[in-house]
Amino acid sequence: MSFNVKRGEIHGICGENGAGKSTLMKILSGVYPHETYTGKIMLDGKMISFEKGAIRQAIESGISIVYQELALNPFSTVGENIFLGREPVRFGDVINWNDLYGRTKELLKTYGLEIPFGETVGNLGVGKQQMVEIAKSLSEEAKVLILDEPTSALNEFEVNTLHAILRTLKEKGVTCVYISHKLEEFFQITDTVTVLRDGQHVATLPTAETDTDKLIAMMVGREMTERFPSRKVEIGEPVFTVKDYKVMSTEFMDKTLLQDVSFDLKKGEILGIAGLMGSGRTELVTSLFGEMGKQVAGTITLNGKEININSARDAMNHNIGLVPEDRKTLGLILEQSILKNISLPSMDRFSGFMHIDKNKELDESRKFAKSLRIKTPNLLVPAEKLSGGNQQKVVISKWLMTNPDVLILDDPTRGIDVGAKYEIYKLMNDLVERGVSIIMISSELEEVLGMSDRIMVMCEGHSTGILDIKEATQEKIMALATAAAQDEKETS
Amino acid sequence: MTTEQNSALLKKVKHGLKDYTVLIALGLIWILFSILTNGIFLKPRNISNLFRQASIISFLATGMVLVIVLGNIDLSVGSVVGFLSAVTAFLQVKVFYDLMPRIFPAMTATGQGIMSTIFTIIVVLLLAVVIGVWQGSLIAYLKIPAFIVTLGGMQLFRGGVLGVTQGKTISPVDSSLVSIAQGYVSKPLGWIIAIAVVGVIFFTTILGRNQKKSYGFEIPMMWKDLLKASVISGIVVIYIMIMNDYRGIQIPVLILAGIALLISYISTNTRFGRYAYAVGGNLEATRLSGINIKKTIFLVHVLMGVLSGVAGIILTGYVAAGTVNAGQNYELDTIASCVIGGTSLMGGKGTIIGAMIGSLIMASIVNGMSVMNMEIFWQYVVKGLVLIVAVYIDVISNKQKS
């Protein structure tokens, strides 16, 4: 992979999830030291490399990153945050506060950033906090400013402000690398765009010479292969219906996480949910599982009856199961045995008061471990010893044991190898053949296209469309997922 | 034997050593003290005292293991024990001593004493439940960190001790209460207990094998199971033999054995126990598995309260009075016992039997040093160092794993 970023330009980088954007940024910022990769990074004609753990070196050489998750101390003031670690001192170690705030004021004025310099950062909105991060980078004399999905948490007004700031920076000769999922932003702000796919460089070209469709084609452009087993299932009547679903954030009262989401799931069907990270797909299934607090509106119908789900237990009682996004933090108790992990939600079946029928527990757990082909000498091995694919099979076994009618799989094949993926696909086919209905979130477009009967695409908390598998293409999904739906309608 | 077999064997031995680290440490400490005391340390009389001294902290440790397994901590146990001990003495001396002759005028003085003790135990255990419910609900339902709730409880119940005792020792308690903590089981009864325990061990071993067989599970070789049962039976029989060589099995140790077995059973063979370990292992994953985590946390703290009650009653009998500084620093000895016994402060890991051995190690150090007539300050110094070393061993063995 090689590409050039010109001085004083705003350079966009786009690609699907897992295309290598974050890895690239980690290398550039010194998170991955130079022993871990091969190749050269040149800045102003000089090769730069960073030693292990020397993130500071990257900053000193002039590369600065503004991360997706802001890395500020919310309890300190704007000035303190900007000069953290570089406070102006006198008499040995006494901070010169007047100097610190004076320089902060000067800095903010130079770049036209409107932030009260003495305010506690926690009291500022997300947009302003991001400005503080940018100011911090600038105070460190950054030559290259890398913005990793800077607009994911901003509203439209804040995005415009950010773009205005970036244009000011460009005038002052600061180079920006702009990573985003939202393709339309590239056309608003960048001069040049680089497309990455599967860790490889696809193209770097002036923004003016391309358009959304071309970018999408370059981002997905892969051949479909026989990676998905076929199935023969008679799809039945709708069993699970969600109507006018709306979820508000419990942390920020005025932030809407999901709005106007409606869909139905038929018996024996796999409904794929596609969307980029932050599109609200995980929030959707988590709240359907009763774990997003009480700020939820809309109706959920199961087998024709309206139901209320306020906790995971409620969901389980309605025979809904959820294989969560992150198996390590949400799916498994890593140090406990495979056996205990599988049987955890189903303990009621093996237990009386003051008694667990351990033989029955082992017997039933074994059946699942066997049919899912979990590779392990026995079930007493701690879950942490298994490979990612086998761990995922344990989480799936755990939910299969609860006999779900509706099984929600949140990115079930993330981070597992091709062989294990295939086995999980076959398992999904087995399940729908037995009449289970599946909702599958996936970050991989091929997977969604290869496994789903219908695909719901989400973008920024909205359902932007439900496609039948016959009409769905990667381009259509990407267009809906990047909210470029209008362009799509015009071309078709 | 090939090198491969050799290294496999070495691995097995290493693994086995790790499993039995605490037990080996206990053995080494005993050998050391018996040399330093010219064998007095291992005399039946001293062993009998040692186990009795260890019993009060051990009651607390059985509950504390589960609290720590949750990922919580209980700093209040010392004060709670002190408070309940003061209440025990108060009830005996100030309330039931006058009340019993009026309720049971026909009874002998001994009978009235026993009735007084029974009533005292019931009231104190109920109070212990109330204390557990109080702390458990603050922690589980109001989500106040356990560290803070029990740090507050430490002050609160120490204040309670002063309030109940008015700063004075309350005595004398009834002889029936004293014998619960200081008494012995008669020697023939001791032998009957020995035979019964051995019978139960072999019976459950065979029963377990047959049940496994009916499911078609592969079962370990018969001789392995029998050897295991024999070793455990052997330890029980030898212990009872030594005790009978002195005055018989100590009643508090017998009660402790019963409670430790019960809690150990609960921790591995009931949903409640399973869920406690699951909560400590991964709270989020457990909640997403549809488990009522608040109820689990609540019940663990209630159980801790009840066990503090048991410890408080036995402590009162042991001292034969209610004193102002009863139970002081017990929380530290209890937590240390659990940690030495392999309970992880990160939660999710720990066994009752480990904590019992840990508590025996702590008691052995104190006992051994006092038999040696060493100055008392050394006990604190050595106890502190042992705790630090025990945790360090845990830290390095975890590092090797990752």
Query: B67-84: per-residue pLDDT in tens?
Result: 999 999 999 999 999 999
Verify whether the Cβ–Cβ distance A363 to B215 is below 8 Å. Answer: yes
Q: How many residues does chain B have?
A: 402
Q: Residue B344's closest chain A neighbor by CA? A: A335
Task: Identify whether residues A295 and A179 lie together within a single domain.
Answer: no
Query: A239-262: per-residue pLDDT in tens?
Result: 999 999 888 877 766 778 888 899
Tell me, what's the pLDDT at B187? Answer: 94
Task: Identify whether residues A213 and A243 lie together within a single domain.
Answer: no
Looking at the domain assignment, is residue A315 inside a domain? yes
Verify whether the Cβ–Cβ distance B288 to A332 is below 8 Å. Answer: no
Give the minimum alpha-carbon distance from A329 to chain B in angstroms, rounded to a whole number. 7
Average pLDDT for B25-50: 94
Average pLDDT for B166-171: 93
Collapsing DSSP states into helix, strand and coil, what is residue A225?
coil
Looking at the domain assignment, is residue A232 inside a domain? no
**pLDDT of A41 above 50:** yes
**pLDDT of A310 above 80:** yes
Interface membership of B287 toward A (CB under 8 Å): yes
SS (H, E, C) B254-312: HHHHHHHHHHHHHHHHCHHHHHHHHHHHCHHHHHHCCCCHHHHHHHHHHHHHHHHHHHH
Break chain B down into helix, strand, coil percent, rounded to 5: 80, 0, 20
**Residue A120, C-beta contacts closer than 8 angstroms, at least 6 positions apart:** A74, A75, A76, A77
Which CATH number does the domain housing residue A376 bear? 3.40.50.300
A330: which chain B residues are within 8 Å (Cβ-Cβ)? 284-285, 288
Looking at the domain assignment, is residue A227 inside a domain? no
**pLDDT of B200 above 70:** yes
Amino acid at B65: V
Task: Identify whether residues A327 and A299 lie together within a single domain.
Answer: yes
Give the minimum alpha-carbon distance from A344 to chain B in angstroms, rounded to a whole number. 7
Task: Identify whether residues A112 and A187 lie together within a single domain.
Answer: yes
Burial class (CB in 10 A: 0-12, 13-18, 19+), A333: buried
Tell me, what's the pLDDT at B217? Answer: 84
Q: Scan residues 177-196 of B and list those with Cβ closer than 8 Å to A.
A: none
Verify whether the Cβ–Cβ distance A329 to B284 is below 8 Å. Answer: yes
Give the minimum alpha-carbon distance from A306 to chain B in angstroms, rounded to a whole number. 21
Tell me, what's the pLDDT at A418? Answer: 67
Task: Identify whether residues A147 and A79 lie together within a single domain.
Answer: yes
Nearest CB among A311, A330, A354 relative to B270 is that of A354
Looking at the domain assignment, is residue A313 inside a domain? yes
Looking at the domain assignment, is residue A5 inside a domain? no
Nearest CB among A345, A355, A360 relative to B289 is that of A345
Collapsing DSSP states into helix, strand and coil, what is residue B237?
helix
Looking at the domain assignment, is residue A1 inside a domain? no
pLDDT band at B402 (very low <50, low <70, confident <90, very high): very low
Q: Which of A191, A220, A249 is the last residue of a domain?
A: A220
Interface membership of B269 toward A (CB under 8 Å): yes
Interface membership of B267 toward A (CB under 8 Å): no
Task: Identify whether residues A472 and A388 lie together within a single domain.
Answer: yes
**pLDDT of B328 above 50:** yes
**pLDDT of A401 above 90:** yes
**pLDDT of A54 above 70:** no
- What is the total count of domains within chain A? 2
Task: Identify whether residues A380 and A340 lie together within a single domain.
Answer: yes
- State percent of chain B over pLDDT 70: 94
Q: Which of A220, A246, A270 is the last residue of a domain?
A: A220
pLDDT band at A488 (very low <50, low <70, confident <90, very high): very low
Tell me, what's the pLDDT at A492? Answer: 41
Average pLDDT for A70-93: 84
Give the minimum alpha-carbon distance from B194 to chain A in angstroms, rounded to a whole number. 26
Nearest CB among A313, A336, A362 relative to B292 is that of A313
Structure-model confidence comparison of residues B305 and B389, the more confident one: B305
**pLDDT of B396 above 70:** yes
Task: Identify whether residues A124 and A74 lie together within a single domain.
Answer: yes
Looking at the domain assignment, is residue A296 inside a domain? yes
Provide the number of CB pairs (under 8 Å) joining chain A to chain B: 79
When the pLDDT of each residue in chain B is averaged and rounded to a whole number, the result is: 92
Interface membership of B286 toward A (CB under 8 Å): yes
CA distance A391 to A375: 10
Task: Judge whether A445 and A478 are in contact, CB under 8 Å.
Answer: yes
Task: Identify whether residues A258 and A215 lie together within a single domain.
Answer: no
Give the minimum alpha-carbon distance from A167 to chain B in angstroms, rounded to a whole number. 44
What does the block give as tokens for B233?
Answer: 């039976």
Task: Identify whether residues A211 and A245 lie together within a single domain.
Answer: no
Q: Which of A157, A191, A220 is the last residue of a domain?
A: A220
Tell me, what's the pLDDT at B12? Answer: 66
**pLDDT of A223 above 60:** no
The domain containing residue A329 runs over which residues? 238-491
Tell me, what's the pLDDT at B60? Answer: 98
Query: Which residue in A425, A456, A428 sits closest to A226, CA to CA?
Result: A425
pLDDT band at A394 (very low <50, low <70, confident <90, very high): very high
Task: Identify whether residues A266 and A142 lie together within a single domain.
Answer: no
Looking at the domain assignment, is residue A3 inside a domain? no
**pLDDT of A139 above 50:** yes
Tell me, what's the pLDDT at A273? Answer: 94
In chain B, domain spans = 47-182+293-401
pLDDT band at B301 (very low <50, low <70, confident <90, very high): very high
**pLDDT of A302 above 60:** yes
Structure-model confidence comparison of residues B46 and B8, the more confident one: B46
Query: B91-135: per-residue pLDDT in tens?
Result: 999 999 889 889 998 889 899 999 999 999 999 999 999 999 999
A335: which chain B residues are within 8 Å (Cβ-Cβ)? 281, 348-349
Task: Judge whether A297 and A262 are in contact, CB under 8 Å.
Answer: no
Other Cβ atoms within 10 Å of A163 Cβ, number = 17
B291: which chain A residues are within 8 Å (Cβ-Cβ)? 313, 344-345
Average pLDDT for A76-102: 86
Task: Identify whether residues A408 and A290 lie together within a single domain.
Answer: yes
Interface membership of B218 toward A (CB under 8 Å): no
